Structure 1
Amino acid sequence: MTGLNTVTKVLITGFGAFQGVPSNPSWGIAQRLPSTLPNNIELIAYTSAIPVAYHPTIILVPKLIAEHQPDIALHMGVAADRDYFAVEQTSQREPWPVLDIEGQNFSPEEVEKVWTGQPQKLSTDLDLHDVVAKWQNRTQDIVFPFADGGNGNNKEKRQRVQAGQAVQVKLVEDVMAVEDVRWSDSVGNYLCAFIYYADLVEMKENGKSGKRDVAFMHVPMLEGEQQLGVGVDVTVELVQSLVESWRAQQS
């Protein structure tokens, strides 16, 4: 049985830069997180931004699980076309059509070699609907700061990116008010989906509990210390929600 007197270890990662995202807020959040939280929670934030590249990622994930043996793994990435935070339910084995920052993809032959016998789609064993209900309650008083300092009048051209590829440039208000935190099942088919699938496999096969106690959170395109600080607050509340729900599953 796992309770408040037992330390729960949560491994956390964030990605580095890629096309259209010179400063990835997922890594900006990860490197600003505390090492411990109330209720005996230990945060193990990987010490570097994970490169947005398939082959380094597939090498790194098993090493992180073997070294740290976390109870829960939380990976983070940016969804710059969204104005909300979301945890993703599933990921898929393939395809991986988008070239990474090294100009590489992950071929069907490599997929078969690494993940022989694994299903096309995998889902976390965490109860994300329960997690999100707790997360929404915990974050209802968080106010997202204005990107322009609060006057709401500044406009600029901002390039949105999705699934690792730049899309059209839109003229948008330089004000991002995060509406909420959500459940989602749209992780994409780039490195966010890739690392999520890789760790869903790894935690099941070589993790401490033999369960897929893994989550992936997409964050909006946060910029500057004030917005990243809010991202940290939202992430802390997600971790607390994940751990509370996970502990209830263990009892």
Structure 2
Amino acid sequence: MAPVASAVTRVLVTGFGPFQGVPNNPSWAIASLLPTTLPNNISLTIHPAPLPVAYHPVISTVPALIADVHPDIALHIGVVEGRTYFAVEQTSRRNVYGYSWNADIDGEVFTDTEGDAVWGDQPTVLSTELDLEAVVDEWQNRTEGIVWPEGESEGIQGKAGGDDDDEVRLSDNVGTYLCAFIYYTSMVEMGKERGQRDTAFMHVPLLLGEEEVQFGVEVTVELIQSLVSSWRAERAGGT
């Protein structure tokens, strides 16, 4: 079992705003409802507004946010339509084709030239230095008692009463749009700020309505507890 640290662990959390086809982004709905503290000496800093689904606002906001908050762990939340589960993502890439041709909500792209200027000699692929396998093992245990609501969204309806083992997962498919972009950006900045890429990205289903969003909040709280538990165990050398 991971030791309980006496010091407060600081976790930064962000969510995204609306984009094409998703007028009410559940990633921000979840982030905005999280408490500022959790048991076991965990302090949450929630970015006070949804991040625009736009490259240049993200690349200007995230580095400044990390430098100001000095988080131990950063957690960014996004949504995937059509998924029936929650997942934390392992890797992200710089200068993927999506950034340069898939326009954001401002109608802008992020070119390879811009990426080279911002990220310099950073690797093409970055992976979080959090032990996501250990995190997901604990996350699955923590969410065993959380009942999927009989909700409005197709994913939730299809999942209610289904296989509990698939509710929360480890994934390596962050995509090629703003989810990948913010994850790569955050890993770079956390590496500079903390010397460790202690960043996580969670994809949530397209949750609809108050009950489904509250369900997402519960799942997210258990993810944060799992992230902190694993992070503390690694810093203590494990037990």
Q: Distance in 2 between matches of 1:197 and 1:173?
A: 27
3-state DSSP of counterpart to 2:75: strand
Aligned partner (choices 188, 210, 214) of residue 175 of structure 2: 188
1-side partners of 2:115 and 2:235: how far apart? 33
User: Does 1:210 pair with 2:195?
Assistant: yes
Which of 145, 159, 182 pairs up with 1:177? 159
Code of the residue aligned with 2:168 in structure 1: it is V
The counterpart of 2:223, out of the listed 210, 235, 238, is 238
3-state SS of the aligned residue for 2:10? strand
Residues 114-173 of structure 1, C-alpha deviation per residue, up to 9 Å, x if partnerless? 01101110000000000000000000111111125xxxxxxxxx8xxxxxxxxxxxxx68
1:34 maps to: 35
Q: What is residue 91 of structure 2 aligned with on the other side?
A: 90
The structure that is helix-richer by fraction is: 2
Pick the aligned partner of 1:137 from 141, 151, 170.
141
Could you say what secondary structure the match of 2:159 adopts?
A: coil
Give, as a single letter, the amino acid of the residue that structure 2 aligns with 1:123: S
Aligned length: 226
**Normalized against structure 1, the TM-score is what?**
0.87
Q: State the SS of the aligned residue for 1:225.
A: helix
Q: Deviations over 1:4-56 (max 9, x none)?
A: 21100000000000000000000000000000000000011100000000000
The 5 Å alignment of 1:93-132 reads 93-95=94-96, 96=99, 97-132=101-136
Q: Residue 208 of structure 2 is aligned with which of 219, 223, 231?
A: 223
Name 1:18's counterpart in structure 2.
Answer: 19
1: CA distance between counterparts of 2:155 and 2:93? 34
Unaligned runs of at least 5 residues, structure 2: 161-165
What is the CA–CA distance in structure 1 between the aligned matches of 2:190 and 2:176, rounded to whole Å? 20
**For residues 48 and 137 of structure 1, do their structure 2 counterparts lie closer, same or farther at Cα, with a shift above 3 Å needed?**
same
Deviation at 1:236, TM superposition (A): 0.2
The alpha-carbon deviation at position 174 of structure 1 amounts to: 7.7
**Change in CA separation of 1:173 and 1:21 when aligned onto 2, cut-off 3 Å:** closer
**What's the CA shift for 1:176?**
4.0
Cα-Cα RMSD: 1.5
In 2, Cα distance between equivalents of 1:128 and 1:173:
24
Task: Find the counterpart in structure 2 of residue 66 from structure 1.
Answer: 67
Instruction: Indicate if the aligned counterparts of 1:144 and 1:176 stay in contact, CA closer than 8 A.
Output: no
Q: Which residue of 2 aligns with 1:168?
A: none
Which structure's residues are more often strand, by fraction? Answer: 1
Name the CA distance, whole Å, in 2 between partners of 1:93 and 1:3: 36
Q: Identity rate of aligned residues, in percent?
A: 56
SS in 2 for 1:12: strand
How far apart in 1 are the matches of 2:207 and 2:187? Answer: 27
CA distance in 2, matches of 1:24, 1:234: 16
Q: 1:217 to 1:232 in 2, by over 3 A?
A: same
**Counterpart for residue 163 of structure 2:** none
Q: Which residue of 2 aligns with 1:151?
A: none
Q: CA deviation at 1:81?
A: 1.6
Q: Quote the offset at 1:177 in angstroms.
A: 2.1
Superposed CA offset, 1:56-108 (max 9, x none): 00000111111100000000000112010000000000221311000011001
Separation in 2, partners of 1:230, 1:220: 11
Structure 2 counterpart of 1:248: 233
Query: Are the equivalent residues in 2 in contact too, given 1:127–1:245 (CA < 8 A)?
Result: yes
Conserved 8 A contact 1:8-1:243 = yes
